[in-house]
Structure 1
Amino acid sequence: MMKKQDLAATMVRVFLGMAFLIHGSTKFQNGIENTVGFFESLGLPGFFAYAVAFIELIGGIAMIAGFGTRIVGFLFSLILIGAIVKVKISAGFLGNGQMAGYELDLALLVLSIYLVITNRSAYAVENVYHAQKN
């Protein structure tokens, strides 16, 4: 029988994975060149756009499956910190009427950190390895 904590952690993991998978796939579907240009307009190297999109896409799939949850959660945290500091902080917590604030990014950051510091969630691929090991 699944404990409430296991169910909650699984829900967080799957939601976070879906959110990042959608963001990553959108970057490629809308033309990664647009994202490269945006990154460069922020003073960041254009290749960061590829790295972020790849982490979001592949990391999203891995997170949904429950594979490498802690590592992917850490990578998501780095992306979110970068987004908050480089893009969203100037708009404030709720936004400024022209741009969304950093409230969603902060919420996703907290969820990512939660998955980095907590044990594996139920229904995760990584549990198969740990079950066989024990």
Structure 2
Amino acid sequence: MIDHKTAPMGILALRVTTGALFLVHGLVKLFVFTPAGTAGFFESLGLPGALGYLTMLFEILGGLALILGVKARLVSAAFVPVLLGAAIFGHGSAGFNWSNAGGGWEYPVMWAVVQAALALLGDGPYALAPTQKRA
């Protein structure tokens, strides 16, 4: 059973929290690891370096979109394959536990499930540009 009074606030909390975390991850790639360093890391995984730039940009812009509620359902859905790619290519060889060297794959998979749930739940309250018109 869904509590229709509190569920929207739960969606808002998940949307803003995950948006903030994506924004921070993208900014760390930009300012700490640098764009060239991020691209180099992606290349070390056997991925195109350009994918590092795209991931960094998507984390920053997508994080802001989630925080503000701009097409949040679509952004959340788009994060799912990015996170599954991170689980497979970035953390897959490290095993299941996040505390393993290199981090485990379960953490990005959990975030992929959270983003899939947000895509199914909707934009939530205070969305600046909802994916669907409210009835």
TM-score, normalization by structure 2 = 0.88
CA distance in 1, matches of 2:24, 2:109: 18
The 5-angstrom pairing of residues 75-90 of structure 1 reads 75-90=78-93
Pick aligned residue for 1:115 from 103, 107, 118: 118
User: Is 1:71 the counterpart of 2:64 in the alignment?
Assistant: no
Contact 1:66-1:123 within 8 A present in 2 as well: yes
Match of 2:44 in 1: 41
Q: Which has the higher helix share?
A: 1
Aligned counterpart, 2:29 = 27
Percent identical among aligned pairs is 33
Corresponding position of 1:13: 15
* Aligned-residue CA RMSD (Å): 1.9
Which consecutive unaligned segments of at least 5 residues does structure 2 have? none
> Structure 1, unaligned stretches of length 5 or more?
none
Question: Hey, which bits of structure 1, 4+ residues long, moved more than 2 A?
Answer: none
2:5 alignment partner, one of 3, 6, 29: 3
Secondary structure of the residue that 1:130 maps to in structure 2?
coil
Deviations for 1:98-127, whole angstroms, at most 9, x for unmatched residues? 221123212211110011112220111124
- Distance in 2, matches of 1:96 and 1:65, equals 32
